[in-house]
């Protein structure tokens, strides 16, 4: 996945690009306190873990958690003095690593639609163990793996550098951006994925400690040894909220998950995290009507994306989620509006009709990312609304 350099396209409003992602062991300081990010093993919280995390959020953090677009669950607003007891509790729950290096390497997203007997959870755990263990390759912090071994891949849109997908009786391991990979038996797939990561490093994929697979493949071809089996086409669109074979998929507007909602969901089943701002509640066919849950495909909140914005992010020039909520009614079905607090565009790196808050007002990108050159700058709300109507009339359906 090729992401634009946020500072390159606009030539203004430079943003700080941090070369690492926060974790639980190594949280990130934000203007509202520490951000503590949980990477649950195999992307799943048992009912007991989910319930305990809800209680920890109430005790140590802002009582609204966030589900990120890398399928991690994060707590915000943690006071530095509270980090140690929070981390200790997460480690006792099996939700945090012993050290920051292992945590950073264990960057594995897991397809959440797996059903009983599926190879997915076992494969994800085996890969995570190898990544967190001694001798694992020292990969860039944002370098990630996707275990997408359901009947059909469903995470092609998710951030990843190495993808593991089902192939016959085994697993196809392929580099992000490549049209061929290598098919191996399931038991060999974790070692094969790490070998591909080794090639990435040896080929100069991260010369300064940063780098992504797709970017490397634009500079040099993948060796023939990694191009043996074609990568099959896969649906790009994630599943809609509602009942799935494995449980109920519930959307969360902007990925926001109040602690009390998390506690209620934990009563209905174990939770699988997704990169689609949605949780799958294992075994559930129905969920209680909670206002934060998006349970139908026609909910207008699914058509907007917004980052943390002000006041939670120090780089934001204004609030984003309240604005996105207000503007959602303007977005026609099949279209997407992205509201970003700055040109970094954390919430939606793909092109869309995009509004960016700036010190001088609201910028509107008719079709592009938050880093793209805006068509209009410094707009007020009424003028933005007028231009949005016009932009949606011309935007391509997603």
Q: Which of 121, 345, 349, 374 binds ligand SF4 (CB under 6 A)?
A: 345
Residue 395 as a binder of ligand SF4 (CB under 6 A): the answer is: no
Q: Note the Cα 311 to chain centre separation in Å.
A: 21
Residue list 217-276, contact with ligand SF4 (CB under 6 A):
none
Closest CA to 41 of 131, 137, 115, 141: 131
368 near ligand SF4, judged by CB under 6 A: no
Structure tokens at 225: 């040894």
67 binds ligand SF4 (CB under 6 A): no
User: Which of 107, 111, 340, 358 contacts ligand SF4 by CB under 6 A?
Assistant: 340
CB 25 within 8 A of CB 353: no
Contacts within 8 Å (CB) and 24+ apart, 202-206: 206/139, 206/140, 206/143
Question: Considering the rule CB under 6 A, would residue 305 count as an interface residue with ligand SF4?
Answer: no
Q: Binding of ligand SF4 at residue 372 (CB under 6 A)?
A: no
- Out of 53, 192, 264, 316, the only residue in the binding site for ligand SF4 (CB under 6 A) is 316
DSSP code of 80?
G
CB of 30 to ligand SF4, least distance (A): 9
Contact flag: residue 309 with ligand SF4 (CB under 6 A): yes
Residue range at the interface with ligand SF4 (CB under 6 A); choices 53-61, 139-147, 293-301, 303-311:
303-311
Output 70 or 344, the one with its CB closest to ligand SF4: 344
Q: Residue 273: CA atoms inside 13 Å, Cβ hemisphere, count?
A: 31
State both tokens at 68. Answer: 């990120």
Nearer to ligand SF4 by C-beta: 126 or 257?
257
Instruction: Annotate 244-260 with b (16+ C-beta within 10 A) or e (fewer).
Output: bebbbbbbbbbbbbbbe
Give the contacts of 324 (CB within 8 A, at least 6 positions apart).
254, 304, 305, 306, 337, 339
Q: Which residue is nearest to ligand SF4 (CB)?
A: 341
In the complex, the smallest distance separating the C-beta of residue 16 from ligand SF4, rounded to whole angstroms, is 8
Burial annotation 116-145 (CB, 10 A radius, 16+ → b, else e)? eebbbbebbbbbbebbbeeebbebbbbbbb
Task: Report, in Å, the least distance between residue 339 CB and ligand SF4.
Answer: 9
Minimum separation from the CB atom of position 315 to ligand SF4 (A):
4
Is residue 111 within the footprint of ligand SF4 (CB under 6 A)? no
- The single residue listed with the structure tokens 């074609």 is 230
> Residue 354, interface with ligand SF4 (CB under 6 A)?
no
Contacting positions for ligand SF4 (CB under 6 A): 15, 307-309, 313, 315-316, 340-342, 344-346
């Amino acid at each position: 996945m090729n992401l634009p350099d946020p500072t390159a396209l606009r030539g203004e409003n430079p943003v700080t690009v941090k070369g690492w992602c926060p974790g639980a062991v190594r949280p990130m300081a934000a203007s509202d306190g520490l951000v503590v990010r949980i990477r649950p093993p195999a992307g799943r919280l048992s009912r007991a873990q989910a319930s305990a995390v809800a209680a920890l959020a109430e005790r140590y953090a802002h009582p609204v958690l966030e589900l990120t677009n890398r399928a991690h669950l994060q707590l915000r607003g943690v006071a530095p003095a509270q980090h140690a007891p929070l981390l200790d509790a997460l480690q006792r729950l099996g939700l945090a690593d012993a050290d920051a290096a292992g945590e950073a390497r264990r960057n594995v997203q897991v397809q959440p639609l797996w059903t009983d007997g599926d190879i997915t959870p076992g494969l994800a755990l085996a890969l995570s163990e190898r990544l967190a263990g001694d001798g694992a390759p020292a990969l860039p912090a944002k370098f990630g793996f996707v275990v997408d071994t359901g009947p059909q891949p469903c995470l092609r849109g998710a951030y990843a550098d190495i993808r593991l997908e089902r192939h016959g009786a085994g697993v196809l391991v392929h580099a992000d951006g490549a049209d061929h990979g290598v098919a191996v038996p399931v038991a060999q797939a974790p070692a094969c994925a790490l070998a591909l990561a080794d090639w990435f490093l040896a080929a100069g994929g991260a010369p300064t400690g940063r780098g992504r697979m797709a970017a490397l493949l634009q500079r040099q071809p993948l060796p023939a040894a990694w191009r043996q089996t074609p990568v099959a086409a896969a649906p790009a669109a994630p599943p809609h909220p509602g009942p799935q074979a494995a449980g109920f998929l519930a959307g969360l507007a902007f990925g926001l998950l109040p602690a009390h909602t998390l506690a209620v969901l934990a009563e209905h089943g174990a939770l699988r995290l997704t990169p689609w701002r949605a949780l799958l509640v294992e075994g559930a066919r129905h969920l209680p009507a909670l206002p934060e849950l998006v349970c139908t495909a026609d909910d207008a909140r699914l058509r907007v994306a917004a980052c943390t914005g002000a006041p939670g992010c120090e780089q934001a020039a204004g609030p984003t989620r309240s604005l996105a909520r207000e503007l959602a009614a303007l977005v026609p079905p099949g279209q997407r509006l992205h509201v970003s607090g700055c040109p970094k565009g954390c919430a939606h790196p793909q092109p869309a009709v995009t509004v960016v808050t700036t010190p001088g007002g609201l910028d509107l990108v008719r079709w592009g990312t938050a880093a793209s050159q805006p068509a209009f700058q410094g707009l007020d709300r009424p003028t933005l609304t007028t231009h949005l109507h016009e932009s949606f009339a011309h935007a391509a359906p997603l």
